[in-house]
Amino acid sequence: MGIRTNIIFSVFWLLISCLLTATNSVYASAAPGSKDNTQTSAKSISLDDTNLLYRGRVTDSKKFSLTGSGLSFSISGGSIWASFTTNNKTQAALNIVIDGDDKTLILRPGSHRYLIADELPQGSHNINILKRNEAGKGSVQLTKLEINSSHHLMHTQRQQHRLLAIGDSITCGYGNEATHNDEGNTVSNQNGYQTYSAIAARALQSDLMIVCWSGRGISRNRSLKNDDVGLLPQLYHYILPNEAQQNWQPADFVADHILINLGTNDNANSKTKGKLNKDLYLDAYQSFINTLRNDHPGAHLIFAIGPMNAGEISHWLPELVEKNENSSTLIFTPFKDNSEIGGHYHPHVSKHIKMSEQLSEHIKSL
């Protein structure tokens, strides 16, 4: 009886082990972004398919690095796989937004295939694959897109209006999902999809392009050394500013509204570097305005500042409005309390939502 009992228990636990293994396998394949090596019947989609809408700044080789850049498309259902290549020295993350539900995909260095969506029900589904963190976290290259053989892409209409947001760490969403100030900014807690300009663009039904980089200014950067290298107006010209490669062609995205939120870093470290020079700041700003006017002749320019370390800049910006037609100022309200603060004193998502409301109402009032 003892041997017989042991055999029965051994078979029982073997069955349980197989069941748990199968369950874990299904769960892993069902999780958006999980590594997937299944042999499900799939077909490749041309990366130049007209039903794919590329967002932000993307090279001809489908490489992108700026916050919010990537692609969107609609699909009739089924599963989606995508292959990406990233820089081996950096860790980048993507927003995988399926029918408005935002998930995070942290990419592994190198080239890998990922499950983006698993067995979506029959019907139209909207998919967004967007850079979650800023260009400083590295570039991402889409190398392959696959869907079930029995499904197809569907036409997606571009929005009628276009918003260009230019800024620093605030606009990039630095630490906006951090649970406390000391957490700082990481690949996991920086969410470009939940930044004020992205939320406002969705509310306004506008296509969005974000050009941002933490620590950068318009006349000087936050850094104590070489603070005039890599200023935002210099980075503006690149598709991949982190690689200083491929000039952007402005005709590819002519904006209706341009938000410029620069000055927080110009104002930083004034005790060490000296007080920000008003004339130098405004001259650099005007020079950048001239560039933007040339690229977007009919756009309304919004000169914004806040909610961090605005200093005297909020009093200087109206002078730019006096010199430039079709422009206005927007001063984001200061933090109400610590609940609105994310990593390293930057706005939390809760503050970004309030900022998006300010921006949306401002644009609607124009």
Pair 103, 194 in one domain:
no
Residues 175 and 301 in one domain: yes
Task: Provide the CATH number for the domain around residue 125.
Answer: 2.60.120.260
Chosen domain end from 95, 124, 154: 154
Band of pLDDT at residue 40, cut at 50, 70 and 90: low
Residues 79/115, Cβ–Cβ less than 8 Å: yes
Q: Quote the domain boundaries for residue 233.
A: 161-365
The structure tokens listed for 304 are 């914004």
The tens digit of pLDDT for each residue in 173-195 reads: 999 999 999 999 999 999 999 99
66 domain-assigned: yes
Packing angle of the helix pair 349-365, 196-204 (nearest 10 deg)? 40
Looking at the fold, whether 213 and 351 belong to one and the same domain comes out as: yes
pLDDT for residue 90: 74
Q: Average pLDDT, stretch 138-160?
A: 96
Q: Check residues 138 and 35 and name the one with the higher pLDDT.
A: 138
- Would you state the pLDDT for residue 10? 41
Same domain, 135 and 176: no
- Verify that 225 and 330 share a domain, yes or no: yes
DSSP 8-state secondary structure symbol assigned to residue 221: -
Same domain for 268 and 349, yes or no, is: yes
- Same domain for 181 and 281? yes
Interval 326-351 mean pLDDT = 98
SS (H, E, C) 329-353: EEECCCCCCHHHECHHHCECHHHHH
Percent of the chain with pLDDT over 70: 89
The reply to whether 147 and 165 lie within a common domain is no
301 and 173 housed in the same domain: yes
80 domain residue, yes or no: yes
- CATH code: domain of residue 360: 3.40.50.1110
pLDDT tens digit sequence for 215-238: 999 999 999 998 999 999 999 999
Length of the chain: 366
Q: At residue 37, does pLDDT exceed 60?
A: no
| pLDDT value at residue 245 | 82
Residues 179 and 126 in one domain: no
Given this model, what pLDDT does residue 155 score? Answer: 94
Residue-wise pLDDT tens digits, 311-323: 899 999 999 999 9
Start-to-end CA distance of the chain, whole Å, equals 87
Question: Running DSSP on this structure, what letter comes out for residue 325?
Answer: S
Asked whether residue 106 falls in the same domain as residue 190, the answer is: no
State the Cα–Cα distance between residues 207 and 163, nearest whole angstrom: 6
Is pLDDT above 70 for 48?
Answer: yes
Q: How many domains does the chain fold into? A: 2
- Asked if residue 19 has pLDDT above 50, the reply is no
Mean per-residue pLDDT of the chain: 90
Query: What are the pLDDT digits (tens) for 74-103?
Result: 999 999 999 999 987 778 999 999 999 999
